[in-house]
């Protein structure tokens, strides 16, 4: 059968138009999931709090505040005490202190295999508070990093739980995480005594490893003022983008709120090192130096806004 030439042209034109429509529909379809992904990502923004303690004794008010953030007498808290060789005992002591305030609290001393087990993941259901005990932060990450339990901790935080810890339990909040070790003690002038540590401000000296990354874009140090850790921390902050760090002293808590701002509670202070807009000597320079670092020392009652660097001191 032969068709008139005009009919063939119309058919061809219709096919081209149909192809264009299909391309547009495909493009729109590709945009919709992207928008949905953005919406989903926004919905996963943390709704909980971080309660990061710099080690040392905690006042009754600090412990009470942690329990209150977890829901008070409705709180369901898990304690992970694997950072210490005596963690089974110290973890149970911590859980008992929390129970005395009305919370449901259980302590776990687990390894990585247990942290990937169905039973342990089930124990994380409905948890409103997580506490990491002190000791050696590397032992905590060895037990939990990359496991199903770590994933569950992040999920509970995003759902509104408070995640806290002290000393080693503070260090693991960051990613990267300070281990407490240095690569080149003393630099070109090694110490004569093995007890001497962090005698220099130097590049590539502070050992950093992966942590849990509960707090984003911030390095964390602890026992800060009591143990005079300025050299190691300024070295790490200047050497590590985005060049922002919070150094928490003993008996003091840095509280990270769901909207991202920080407050300070406790007996001492949090020192914030902000070198995000500083000039830093290049990697090839023989000495690590900077100009423009902002140091803020924040006592209890202070607020800090990381997005802007705004500080509010107590009146």
Instruction: Decide if 268 contacts 250 (C-beta within 8 A).
Output: yes
Helices (H) and strands (E) in the chain, counts: 9, 17
Gap between the Cα atoms of 14 and 10, Å rounded = 6
Instruction: Decide if 93 contacts 131 (C-beta within 8 A).
Output: no
Kindly provide the residue ranges of all beta strands, DSSP E only, lying in the chain, ordered along the sequence. 50-53, 76-80, 104-108, 129-132, 162-166, 177-182, 206-209, 219-222, 244-248, 252-256, 262-266, 269-274, 279-280, 290-291, 294-299, 303-305, 310-312
Tell me if residue 208 falls in helix, strand or coil.
Answer: strand
Residue 189 confidence (pLDDT) = 79
Q: Supply 197's token pair.
A: 């540590």
Residue 39 confidence (pLDDT) = 35
Per-residue pLDDT tens, the chain, 315 aa: give them: 444 444 444 443 444 444 443 433 343 344 334 333 333 433 467 899 999 999 999 999 999 999 999 999 999 999 999 999 999 999 999 999 999 999 999 999 999 999 999 999 999 999 999 999 999 999 999 999 999 999 999 999 999 999 999 999 999 999 999 999 998 888 877 877 766 788 899 999 999 999 999 999 999 999 999 999 999 999 999 999 999 999 999 999 999 999 999 999 999 999 999 999 999 999 989 889 999 999 999 999 999 999 999 999 999
DSSP symbol at 282: -
**How many CB atoms are closer than 10 A to CB 178?**
24
Residue 20 confidence (pLDDT) = 45
Percent helix, percent strand, percent coil in the chain, to nearest 5: 35, 25, 40
The model's pTM is: 0.84
Q: Which of 122, 172, 117, 170 is nearest to 145 (CA)?
A: 172
Indicate the Cα dihedral angle 138, 287, 216, 277, nearest 10°.
Answer: 170
Residue 2 confidence (pLDDT) = 47
Backbone angles phi, psi at 94, to 5 degrees: -65, -45
Q: Supply 42's token pair.
A: 């926004």
Angle between helices 148-159 and 137-144 (to 10 degrees): 100
Residue 194 confidence (pLDDT) = 66
């Amino acid at each position: 059968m032969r068709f008139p030439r005009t009919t063939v042209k119309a058919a061809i034109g219709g096919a081209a138009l149909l192809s264009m429509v299909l391309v547009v529909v495909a493009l729109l379809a590709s945009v919709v999931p992207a928008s949905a992904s953005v919406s989903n990502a926004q919905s996963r923004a943390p709704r909980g709090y971080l309660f990061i303690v710099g080690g040392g004794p905690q006042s009754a008010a600090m412990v009470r505040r942690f329990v209150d953030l977890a829901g008070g007498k409705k709180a369901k808290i898990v304690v992970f005490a694997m950072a210490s060789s005596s963690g089974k005992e110290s973890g149970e002591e911590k859980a008992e202190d929390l129970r005395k305030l009305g919370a449901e609290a259980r302590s776990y001393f687990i390894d990585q295999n247990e942290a990937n087990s169905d039973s342990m993941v089930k124990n994380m259901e409905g948890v409103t508070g997580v506490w990491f005990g002190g000791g050696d932060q590397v032992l905590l990450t060895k037990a939990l990093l990359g496991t199903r339990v770590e994933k569950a901790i992040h999920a509970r935080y995003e759902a509104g739980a408070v995640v806290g810890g002290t000393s080693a339990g503070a260090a693991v909040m960051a990613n990267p995480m300070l281990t407490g070790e240095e690569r080149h003690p003393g630099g070109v002038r090694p110490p004569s005594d093995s007890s001497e540590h962090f005698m220099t401000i130097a590049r590539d000296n502070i050992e950093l490893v992966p942590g849990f990354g509960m707090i984003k874009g911030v390095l964390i140090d602890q026992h800060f003022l009591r143990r005079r850790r300025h050299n190691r921390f300024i070295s790490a902050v200047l050497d590590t983008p985005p060049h922002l760090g919070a150094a928490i002293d003993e008996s003091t808590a840095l509280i990270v709120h769901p909207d991202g701002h920080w407050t300070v509670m406790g007996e001492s202070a949090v020192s914030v090192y902000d070198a995000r807009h500083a000039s830093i000597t290049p990697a090839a320079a023989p000495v690590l130096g900077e100009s423009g670092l902002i140091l803020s020392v924040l006592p209890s009652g202070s607020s800090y806004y990381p997005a802007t660097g705004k500080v509010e001191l107590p009146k």
